[in-house]
Amino acid sequence: MLVAEGKSILKRIGIGRIKIYRTPAYDISEEEIRDPAAEVERFNDAVQKAIEQQGVLYEKALESAGEESAAIFEAHQMMLEDDDLQDTAREIITDQKKSAEYATQTAFDQYAQMFAELEDPYMQARSADLIDVKMAVLDVLLGNDTESLQGTEPSILVAEDLAPSETVKLDKSLLLGLITREGSAGSHTAILARSMNLPSLIQCKDIDDSWDGRMAILDGYNDRVIIDPTEEELAELTARREEDLKKDALLQDLKGRPSVTLDGRKVRVYANIGGPEDLAGVKENDAEGIGLFRSEFVYLHSKEAPSEEVQFAAYKRVVEAMAPRTVIIRTCDIGADKTIDYMHLDKEANPALGFRAIRICLTRKDFFKTQLRALLRASAYGSMGIMFPMIVSRWEIVEARKILEECKAELLQEGHKVGKYELGIMVETPAAVLCADDLAEEVDFFSLGTNDLTQYTCAIDRQNANLERFSDTHHPAVLKAIQMTVEAGHRHGIWVGICGELGADPSLTETFLRMGVDELSVNAGSVLPLRKIIRGLDLSGQAEK
């Protein structure tokens, strides 16, 4: 028995034999060749064939993953058709008397290098596309059969890393799991895993060729793979896997059904997301909307403050994809534990109580306006809510709204479309709870950020492990604060939701519903389990104490 660790993408278990996915060896001779004309012919044929293959991959990806994923293969075709690139390779064959393989490798690498050296990160990434098409041409020239790399039996596939062209070629019906040495949570492997609900382990540094053909358990709950498991392990994890599948089937049945209690109370179950890449999970889990889109990702993923266009594209994509369902986007919430170099924020003695979120935005108005303009423009493409974080005083909302109105007027004057939107705030400070009646007069909704609310109400740093004994996620003060907020909101006719982690806590669902909470926004994986609980509740009687 052997255990290797990695990072699992999903809490799932895969059981089966290991198949090592070996990228073929590319032995390329540098010897001089005798017949350059014939070599040029071979090169031309190979490029033509590679172009056709990319066309097949395009069709395949279009069917299985949609237009957006497929577009890459169309771009590959166009790169292969490029005259400069082909001429460079042909010149190497005729002038240096080298083989078609050598010429392909040298010419394509040269172009890949050129893109890698460009400053623009988007163009740098195109370098990987050139390498991908180079491989396609080399595979044709060398007669590599890339179709059969996966084998013909269902297996857990083990690879160094997978390129997009490789993931598309995989026969999904033969995949029991996926293990790679490289990859990040945003890599192609991870995206594939999430979209297929496939047990996957990435960054597994210990993968080894000797695993080929051996029995294995990919244990997504514990971020590990067990090679040659014992009988007991096999029995235990097989049972657990079957339980998972049973639960899955039950939850799948809940898709498309309303989140309503036995006595007819409807609750909206929304999902929290960090960026457009989470949309697949939202759809997969049938969330009724997005209750918290953390817009920080647009700031954290770039080296300089993101432009209006870049932000607009990201917001529009999410709003458009979800329409007519609602998407609530929280404005920039950086500061505290989320810092960014280009913001040049001072080091603070007490960052949790410092210059963060709306406080930065109201101070750096131009920075704030860039985001508000992008949000307003995206509002034309679906149903949107804009939410301000870290509000403690009424004047903050008034001022933020004034800036918002200013942006709207400018946009309309410039001829842009602006849609309808709801305006709300995060209630995550005791001050906001205590002034909730005042604040409710300014907005269309409240969303309770229970993580910060708990931290500020109890004065307990949630990152500090030494405080565990004192910390209580169900602290009565927090529950009281939630109740006060809901009541204040309803007194003023606005809806109140919860978007913090507490919203997904099944032991509190009944409590929240009895308080009158209108919306629960949770991570996508909790949507269906939460709907299941809601559909089993009956609020008509007295609460059990």
State the catalytic residues: 188, 499
**Which of the ranges 18-26, 68-76, 436-444, 532-540 carries the binding residues for other proteins, by CB under 8 A?**
68-76
Closest by CA to 333, choosing from 221, 428, 236, is 428
Q: Is 71 in the site for other proteins (CB under 8 A)?
A: yes
Report the relative pairing of strands 326-330 and 383-388 from DSSP bridges.
parallel
Residue 252 token pair: 């799948």
Q: Does 132 bind other proteins (CB under 8 A)?
A: no
Nearer to other proteins, 77 or 473 (CB): 77
d(CA 314, CA 375): 10
Cβ proximity to other proteins, 88 vs 471, nearer residue: 88
- Kindly tell me which of 130 and 332 has the beta carbon lying closer to other proteins: 130
CB of 111 to other proteins, least distance (A): 6
> Closest distance between other proteins and the C-beta of residue 374, in Å?
10
DSSP per position, 204-217: -TT--GGGTT-EEE
Does residue 13 sit in helix, strand or coil?
strand
List 12, 42, 126, 194, residue binding other proteins (CB under 8 A): 126
Those residues with Cβ within 8 angstroms of residue 404's Cβ, 6 or more apart along the chain or in another chain: 372, 376, 386, 423
Q: Does 251 bind other proteins (CB under 8 A)?
A: no
Is the Cβ of residue 90 or residue 531 nearer to other proteins in the bound state?
90
Give the binding range for other proteins (CB under 8 A) out of 97-105, 308-316, 421-429, 495-503: 308-316
Helix (H, G, I), strand (E, B) or coil at 372: helix
Contacting residue, 62, 75, 215, 362, with other proteins by CB under 8 A: 75
Structure tokens at 202: 């990435």
Q: How many CA atoms lie within 13 A of 471 on its CB side?
A: 16
Q: How far apart are CA 497 and CA 486, in angstroms?
A: 8
- How far CA 205 is from CA of 180, 226, 292, in Å, comes to 8, 14, 35
Half-sphere exposure of 120 toward its Cβ, with a 13 Å CA cutoff?
Answer: 6
Q: Which position among 83, 304, 414, 544 is part of the footprint of other proteins (CB under 8 A)?
A: 83
Among 171, 248, 309, 472, binds other proteins (CB under 8 A): 309
As measured in angstroms, the least distance from the Cβ of 122 to other proteins is 6
Q: Compute the distance between CA of residue 43 and CA of residue 48 in angstroms, rounded to an integer.
A: 9
Q: Which of 184, 197, 222, 307 binds other proteins (CB under 8 A)?
A: 307
Query: Which range, of 247-255, 309-317, 340-348, 433-441, touches other proteins by CB under 8 A?
Result: 309-317
Among the residue ranges 79-87, 179-187, 203-211, 457-465, the one whose residues contact other proteins (CB under 8 A): 79-87
Smallest distance, other proteins to C-beta of residue 36, A = 24
Say which DSSP state 336 is in: T
Residues 94-123 that bind other proteins (CB under 8 A): 111, 114-115, 118-120, 122-123
Minimal distance, residue 108 CB to other proteins, in Å: 10
> From the CB of 308, what's the least distance to other proteins, in Å?
9
User: Are the C-beta atoms of residues 204 and 5 closer than 8 Å to each other?
Assistant: yes
Pairwise CA distance, residues 454 & 439, whole Å:
20
By the 8 A CB rule, do 171 and 193 touch? no
Helix, strand, or coil here: 289?
coil
Q: Which is nearer to other proteins, 74 or 223 (CB)?
A: 74
Fill in the per-residue mask, 351 to 380: x = in contact with other proteins (CB under 8 A), - = not in contact: ------------------------------
CB of 74 to other proteins, least distance (A): 6
Q: How many residues bind other proteins (CB under 8 A)?
A: 26
CA 370 – CA 306 distance, rounded (Å): 9
Pairing of strands 326-330, 13-20: unpaired
Provide the binding-site residues for other proteins, judged by CB under 8 A: 71, 74-75, 77-79, 81-85, 111, 114-115, 118-120, 122-123, 126, 129, 307, 309-310, 312-313
